Amino acid sequence: MLQILQLLVRIEWEKFKVGTSFFVPCLDHKAVADYIGKETERLRFKVLCKPVIERHRYGLRVWRLE
């Protein structure tokens, strides 16, 4: 599980299908990207992570490519 500002964030990897994406609100997008990179490598998912601003919130958008 990912923890952001003492809140646990559960990512349902089994529901993360090719062509979909999710947004994680965070200020330290590098740490979140590192966590997601390790998890997706373990699961053998190919993803693209980009820091973005959505609805006036900083965060990380993650797309599953393969």
pLDDT at 1 over 70: no
Please give the single-letter amino acid code of residue 17: K
**Res 64: pLDDT:** 97
| Selection from 64, 57, 65, 59 nearest residue 23 by Cα | 59
pLDDT, tens only, 5-59: 677 888 999 999 999 999 999 888 999 999 999 999 999 999 999 999 999 999 9
**What value, to the nearest 5°, has the Cα angle with vertex 51 and ends 30 and 58?**
100
pTM, rounded to two decimals: 0.86
At 52, list the tokens.
């973005």
**Res 2: pLDDT:** 73
**Res 39: pLDDT:** 95
| Selection from 49, 58, 62, 61 nearest residue 5 by Cα | 58
In the chain, beta strands by DSSP E: 2-4, 7-9, 21-25, 47-54, 57-64
